[in-house]
Structure formats: C-alpha cells, structure tokens
Amino acid sequence: MRTFGNVPGGPVVLKDGMNRTIRRVSVFVLLLVLALLVRATWVQFYEAKALADSSYNRRNAIQTYAHPLGNIIVAGNAITGSARTTGGDLAYKRTYKQGPLYAAVTGYASQAYAPTQLEGIYQDVLNGTDPRLKTVLDTVTGRQADPGNVLTTIDPAVQKAGFDALGDKKGAAVAIDPKTGRILGVVSTPSYDPTELTDANTAGPAWRRLNADPDKPLVNRALRQPLPPGSTFKLVVAAAALEDGLYKNVDQPTTSPNPYPLPGTTRVLANESASAPCENATIRTALRYSCNNVFGKMAVDLGQDKVRAMAEKFGFNDQKLDVPVRAYPSVYPTKMDPSQTALSGIGQFDVTATPLQMAMVSAAIADGGKLVSPHMVSQLTDSGGTVLQNYDDPDSKRIMSSGTAAQLRSAMQSVVTNGTGTSAQLPGVTVGGKTGTAQHGLNNDQSPYAWFTSFGTSDSTGKQVAVAVVVEQSDAARSEISGGGLAGPVAKAMMRAALKAS
C-alpha cells in the first residue's frame, strides 16, 4: 500500500491491487484499439475490392444501370436492349427481344439477381467496366467507358427451327458446325422470358414462380442437365472398338450372343425387338437396329478403361468445358464391375451426357475424326465495333483416325436410310444419325428419354452441321416414345435450317 500526502482532504491511499487492475484494463483497451486498427487496415487494403464487387453493394447496381447496357448480337442484330425506368435510383433496365427463344443463350441481367449465362460472363464488357474499353480520355477524366457488345455464333434460323420443333415438349437441342466449332443453336424447353426478371420492383414474384415450376424452365437443359444418353452412346463404344482393332471395320461380324448374359449375374441383356438380326451382328447392323447385346458385350471385351479413354477424348468427364458458359460434365464412370460395364456400353448405368456432348460426338465423326472446340461467342467488341477479343480460331484435337470416322459416318447413314432414324431423312442432304431411348426413373417407371444425335452434309455445297436432341417428356404415349419418333424430327428441322435445304 502507498500513500500520497499534501492532498486536500487528507492523504490518498492506492492499493497495489488497484494499480494492477488499472494496468490490465489499460492493456485490454490498447489491444482492442490495435485490433480495430488491424481490422480497418485489412478491410481497406485487402477486402475493399470484394466489398465493392459484392452483389449486396447497392452502388454497384446504381452504377451498372446508370446507362444503357451493351448488347448481345445474333447475326448482326441485337437480341437485347435497355429501357429507361421511372422513379428509383436505377436509371435503366435490361430488355430482351424474343426473350424465350434466346434465353438459353443470353441468360438474364437483373437489377435484383446476379446475371447468368452470357450476361454474367461478359457483364464487365456489357456494363462498360472492362478495362479494355477505356480510352485515354476516359482514364484522364475518370469517365466510365461506353459499353461493349458480345457477338454470338448463333444462327437465328437454326435457333428458331429447334425452338419451334420442340414446342411444348420438355427437352433440349444443340447444333454445331463441325469444321469451325461454332454453335449454331442452343435450345432448352420449356423456356422463360428473361424480361420478367430484369426489374427489381417486379422480379421477385416471377423468380419465385419460375423456381417453383417442376419443369425447371431456368435450367439450361442443352448445356447443364446431363441425362442417360441411351443408345446414342453406342457410337463412342463403336469408335473405341474400331480404334483398338477389336473389329477392323463396321461390316465385320461381331461375336455377340443374343441375348447377352450379363457377366456375374443371372440376367441377360436383350433387345427392344426380338426379331432384329442382332446375333453376331456387324457394327453397321447393330447401329441400324440398336442392338444392345452387341454393344454390351463390346464394352466388356474392350474393358471399361478403353471405353472411358475414348469417351474422355470426346469430352466426357471434362470438368471445365466452357463454351463460354460452363457446361456440366458428361460422365463415364470410373469404377464398374463387368455387368455394369456392359450396361455402360448401351449408355445406361451411371453414364450421363448433355445434348452439347452428344452433338460433339457427331461433330467429330462428321469432321473426319477431329473435334473443334465448340463455342457460341465469336467476338467481343467496343461500342464502335473494334474487336477486343476474337474467338474464331478455336483449338482442335484428333479423336480418332479419319478411317474410323469414315466407317462410322457410313454406318450412321445406314441408320437414317433404313434403320431407326428414317424420320431425319432430308432431300439434298446426306444424313447420318443414331437414335437412343434411355431408361428413366426407379425401375424405368417413368417415360423414357428420347435421344437423337446426327450430322448432315449438303450434297450441293458440302456444308455440314451436327445436331443432338433429347426429349425428356412429351404428350406421346409410352409405347410411342423413341429417339427416331420424337427427337429425330427436331434434328431434321435444325439441319434443314442450317443447310438451307428444302
């Protein structure tokens, strides 16, 4: 204990314990101040950009919609626009021309929700904040640059043909130019009108309704909903068998009992038609009649590793397939027993694919065994048309030999000439295809998925297109559901538009 004299009222006495308490409080307060300074420094120098870019930062929305946005272009025409708003602090909102037709391409730019698809990927170009858009004057004055534009590869005639042909069916379609990789059409139905989601004052009810819809109109089925591809996957197995040398050509008889006993089980793999000539059938005949026994055994004979290697050459299991929208991976499984490998050979078990993926399969076959990277954006430009970035020189890789591709093209033509794909015949066009009907639901208790993947070559110009279609659900009776019956006519419509055939 210490005392201090000469203090009015008598000496002041401070106990050592009180001194320690004051020191501890002082140290604690100092630590709090230091922590506050550290946090402020961290926020200012390290988190400032994240906070500035946050979708919850109202200033970003105000800045984005202070001026008209740039546009997404199809065949030289803008399919987007901007409209002046009345009231509020957001001066403009996004508009769409033929919104449902192009929703699977554009996505949406909303005052209330994060942008999607091309609107999201290129939002900096479209709202003028991309550094490449700034002029020297913009940099000096701090003025925001004029927005740029996104030029797509979409052919409006192909897009409309697919959209109209799918109609009220639930499904999707993709069309690709095999030689350039340009995506000519991306269709997903049922669709939605992106205009419903653009205005912050009215977007909420539309958002809730679209998300509650069991048909999931906001899902891009063409790029982002892998489903069992059924017999269309037999093209991948056939390519693997020819490349491996298991069979020399598509007209060599296979060793394929009918039905095929699934290894290690008491079950057999039968065919849709008991009268089809599938026993020991050639690859050509097996594709023409879609013989399950042939391709189930072929997958087992090759082994899952060789089938997977070929599938991955086509793009299966690719986690970063950007067109530039990130497509969901199509999957070929990594671990299977022999009976599961047999089922994978007919596009069942855990095999899944998007229409984009199956269009890539047909595109590689059509282009002599070479796969050009698919893409649906050709250029980014500034407001005056100066090119900021060009995407018209995509990568390509060889998937199979030109001889194997020629063999498969010939076999696919047989499918359309006098097989399961006759609905896709088109005057003046050499068409090759493969139908598929994939099981759906527990014990196949729901309507099967109807698939068709194909290519068409104009007899007069040599121009080509590859098209893949899936129909998830339609008003057809279960007994009438088939790839040729439902998906084939959609592919035919898109090929006709792409090749300008009669």
CA dist 258 and 296 (Å) reads: 11
Clarify whether 191 is annotated catalytic. Answer: no
| Residue ranges with strand state E in 139-255 | 149-152, 170-176, 183-189
Cis peptide before 259 (omega within 30 of 0): yes
- What DSSP string describes 409-455? HHHHHHHHHHSTTGGG-BTTEEEEEEEEEE--SGGG-SPPEEEEEEE
| Whole-angstrom distance, CA of residue 181 vs CA of residue 175 | 10
CB-based contacts of 333: which residues, under 8 Å, 6+ apart?
A: 304, 308, 340, 344, 349, 350, 351
CB 174 within 8 A of CB 359: yes
What are the tokens at 361?
């399969």
Contact 459, 428 (CB under 8 A): yes
One-letter amino acid of 367: D
Instruction: Given the residues 231, 330, 454, 458, select the one marked as catalytic.
Output: 231
Q: How many CB atoms lie within 10 A of CB 359?
A: 31
Beta bridge mates, 466: 176, 455
Residues 6+ apart with CB under 8 A from 498: 155, 157, 158, 175, 177, 184, 185, 456, 463, 465, 467
Q: Tell me 487's DSSP state.
A: I
Catalytic residue positions? 231
